[in-house]
A and B are shown apart, each in its own frame.
Chain A
Amino acid sequence: MSNEIEPVIRVEGLSAGYGDEVILDDISFEVYPGEVFVIAGGSGCGKTTLLKNMIGLLEPDAGRILIDGDDIVGASGRSRHSILRKIGVMFQTGALFGSMTLLENVRLELDEFTDLPRDAANLIAAMKLDLVGLGGYGDYMPAELSGGMQKRAAIARAMVLDPQILFLDEPSAGLDPVTSAGLDGLIRRLAESLAITFVVVSHELASIYAVADRVIMLEKELKKIVAVGPPDQLRDSTDNAWVRRFFHRQAE
């Protein structure tokens, strides 16, 4: 990732929290096109908070968040819509609509934002499900699927309009190591074959090694980024005690 490439996401001086409670204090980083960028850190350090700020669900206290050059902070109406069309999001719990089949879940944005005929939308949605390994499950209801399958379906739904950037919140949380490794493989495959930029929230070491091009580590007490870089580099050459413990799985 040389610096000549324009970053696809640029976060500048972001401070965020809930009410008076500060969770993130003046953090800045960049994400480059085509990389799998992992936001890591312990439980409750503000990973989800950071993600929700980046996708415009929360308004930060200060700072700018440029998605493909446009600031999502304070964007509204048309400009907000055009930014949101560039991104897809998979929430921590999947957040599939329980009253719709998988195919209807995936097809929703095609129906709302394009003029595709019905059978076209069906085929395109079925192809997305096939891409995440759920071909043939289109008629299932979310409740009829395992947790891992729901998350994969949520990824299919997030990428139905071919966004530039996919945000995934804890794709491997609550899954067994085999399923979780399968999901990590899927993320790598999609990143490499479709040239999508991934921003992945994760707190699992194995999954960070498996998917990440670069990692930032958030720390709860400082409310700052304490390390940036490829995972191997963070493991071998960090001077931050917390990062060292994280990568060597030591208790405090």
Chain B
Amino acid sequence: MVTLGYAGRLDSANVGALWRQTADILKHARPSRVIVLCEEIEYCDGSGAGLLFYLRLKGLKQGFAVEFKGLRPEPAEMLDRFDADRFAEYGKEKRHIHPAEEIGHFAWQLFVDVQEQLAFIGELHVAMVRCLVRRRQLRWKEVFITAERAGANAVGIVSLIGFLFGLIMAFSFAMPMRQFGVDIYVADLVAVGLVRVLGPFITAIILAGRSGSAYAAELGTMKINDEIDALTTMSLDPVRFLVAPKVLATIFITPLLTVVANVFGLIGCGVVMLSLGFPLVTYTNHVESAIDSGDVAVGLFKAVVFGGLVAGVGCLRGLQTKTGPSAVGISTTRAVVSAIVLIVLAEGVFAVLFHYMGI
């Protein structure tokens, strides 16, 4: 038998220490009966009642009788309001998830995600073809607004980054190549690299960070506010209504932005070449002979695909938004990450494809 006695105020400030002592005593004693002396409790609030109730629950679980002696009527009444049966779950350890289960869960999630992406691509194509066939179906105003926000407003940052990229690349190549006396070929190198690969690439990355995330946030907020459901119940397809204008506008502006990035990249490169002492004509001649219209076409084609990927996955992540305050943040993060991964994957596919096609 164990006798416990509490005195003074049993409130949230004091109960913590008492709780630890009580748990300690009970752990070592393994009693068959516990008597709790309560005469000297001056005040007992919800936390105090929690401690007394804890004793009662422990008693039920470990099979000892608990007797409260001298408990005043108010706390006694408070205690009796709680039905021990309803707290049967209390103190049960949360189920531990096995690593294998976690891996399986992850793989399944991945599978579902790919499935959803494929379904979304299908839906998107249907919606876009429909919009192109019947032009009235497309919300042109939305297309222009998106083109302005994602395209026109991005010209500044794209030209700045393009310029700096051209400058930095030219400068980094110039030093080692000068040792072999071939530094004039920096112009060819940068021109080809920029127009075929890096121009579309940096444009797409900027687009993913600037606009893909914005699409995800916009659609995610609409999802949380039930606006997507509202569209569906009006029998308006959210993909046609919201996604198609964004994707079309983005596909339209990405090649244009790529041209801007290319031009400013070449200017950046030109600045380095001029400062290395080459005349402007020499530089422009080298650029002209290095790239042909095929290179430009390859770059712009990539830009179109990247634009579609960035906008599409941004909107998809937005539509997949779950509930809660952090949901939109998670969606935007996923939009940017997925966009970057897709861009790099596509880049790889293109490299192989164009190699075999001989372009």
Q: What residues make up the interface of A, taking CB atoms closer than 8 Å to B?
A: 97-99, 110, 113-117, 119-120, 122-124, 126-128, 130-131, 135-136, 141, 143, 159-162, 193-194
- With a CB–CB cut-off of 8 A, which chain B residues contact A128? 46
Segment among B48-56, B103-111, B310-318 that sits at the interface with chain A: B48-56
For residue B164, give the distance in angstroms from its CB to the closest CB of chain A.
Answer: 39
- With a CB–CB cut-off of 8 A, which chain B residues contact A194? 78
For residue B288, give the distance in angstroms from its CB to the closest CB of chain A.
Answer: 57
Question: A227 to B257, alpha carbons, bound, how many Å?
Answer: 67
From A114, A130, A135, A143, contact of B15 by CB (8 A): A114
B23 CB-CB contact with A under 8 Å: yes
The closest CB in chain B to the CB of A124 belongs to B50
Contact yes or no, B19 A98, CB < 8 A? no
Contact yes or no, B46 A127, CB < 8 A? yes
Contact yes or no, A143 B12, CB < 8 A? no
Binary contact track B140-174/A, C-beta < 8 Å → 1, others 0: 00000000000000000000000000000000000
The closest CB in chain A to the CB of B49 belongs to A127
- With a CB–CB cut-off of 8 A, which chain B residues contact A97? 325
For residue A121, give the distance in angstroms from its CB to the closest CB of chain B.
Answer: 9
Contact yes or no, A126 B47, CB < 8 A? no
Give the total number of A-B pairs whose CB atoms are below 8 A apart: 81
Q: What residues make up the interface of B, taking CB atoms closer than 8 Å to A?
A: 11-13, 15-17, 19-20, 23, 45-47, 49-51, 53-54, 57, 77-78, 81-83, 86-87, 89-91, 323-326
Contact yes or no, B53 A116, CB < 8 A? no
Contact yes or no, A120 B77, CB < 8 A? no
Contact yes or no, B324 A141, CB < 8 A? yes
Question: A120 to B24, alpha carbons, bound, how many Å?
Answer: 13
The closest CB in chain B to the CB of A99 belongs to B326
Contact yes or no, B13 A114, CB < 8 A? yes
Contact yes or no, B16 A123, CB < 8 A? no
Question: A194 to B74, alpha carbons, bound, how many Å?
Answer: 9
Contact yes or no, B81 A116, CB < 8 A? no
Contact yes or no, A162 B19, CB < 8 A? no
- With a CB–CB cut-off of 8 A, which chain B residues contact A98? 323-326
For residue B75, give the distance in angstroms from its CB to the closest CB of chain A.
Answer: 12
Contact yes or no, B46 A120, CB < 8 A? no
- With a CB–CB cut-off of 8 A, which chain B residues contact A99? 324-326
The closest CB in chain A to the CB of B325 belongs to A98
From B15, B323, B326, contact of A120 by CB (8 A): B15
Contact yes or no, A162 B53, CB < 8 A? no
29 contacts between A and B (CB under 8 A): A97-B325, A114-B13, A114-B16, A117-B20, A117-B23, A120-B16, A120-B19, A123-B54, A123-B91, A124-B46, A124-B47, A126-B90, A127-B46, A127-B82, A130-B83, A130-B87, A131-B81, A135-B86, A135-B87, A141-B323, A143-B324, A159-B46, A160-B46, A161-B12, A162-B46, A162-B47, A193-B78, A193-B81, A194-B78
For residue B39, give the distance in angstroms from its CB to the closest CB of chain A.
Answer: 22
Contact yes or no, A114 B47, CB < 8 A? yes
- With a CB–CB cut-off of 8 A, which chain A residues contact B83? 130
Contact yes or no, B324 A123, CB < 8 A? no
Contact yes or no, A117 B45, CB < 8 A? no
Q: Is the interface of B mostly helix, strand, loop or mixed?
A: helix
Contact yes or no, A119 B86, CB < 8 A? no
- With a CB–CB cut-off of 8 A, which chain A residues contact B15? 114, 116, 120
- With a CB–CB cut-off of 8 A, which chain B residues contact A124? 46-47, 50
A99-B324, A110-B12, A143-B323 given; 12 more Cβ-contact pairs under 8 Å? A98-B325, A98-B326, A99-B326, A113-B12, A114-B13, A120-B16, A120-B54, A123-B87, A127-B82, A135-B86, A135-B87, A193-B81
Contact yes or no, B82 A116, CB < 8 A? no
For residue B74, give the distance in angstroms from its CB to the closest CB of chain A.
Answer: 9
Question: A115 to B17, alpha carbons, bound, how many Å?
Answer: 7
- With a CB–CB cut-off of 8 A, which chain A residues contact B81? 131, 193
Beyond A98-B324, A116-B16, A130-B82, is A123–B46 a contact (Cβ under 8 Å)?
no
- With a CB–CB cut-off of 8 A, which chain A residues contact B23? 117
For residue A32, give the distance in angstroms from its CB to the closest CB of chain B.
Answer: 20
For residue A17, give the distance in angstroms from its CB to the closest CB of chain B.
Answer: 30
Contact yes or no, B12 A162, CB < 8 A? yes
The closest CB in chain B to the CB of A161 belongs to B12
Question: A116 to B90, alpha carbons, bound, how many Å?
Answer: 16
Question: A114 to B16, alpha carbons, bound, how many Å?
Answer: 7
From B78, B82, B90, B325, contact of A122 by CB (8 A): B90
For residue B237, give the distance in angstroms from its CB to the closest CB of chain A.
Answer: 26
Contact yes or no, A136 B86, CB < 8 A? yes
- With a CB–CB cut-off of 8 A, which chain A residues contact B47? 110, 114, 116, 120, 124, 161-162
- With a CB–CB cut-off of 8 A, which chain A residues contact B323? 98, 141, 143
A-B pairs with lowest CB-CB distance, top 6: A115-B16, A124-B50, A143-B323, A162-B45, A98-B324, A116-B16
- With a CB–CB cut-off of 8 A, which chain B residues contact A122? 90
The closest CB in chain A to the CB of B74 belongs to A195
Question: A44 to B12, alpha carbons, bound, how many Å?
Answer: 38
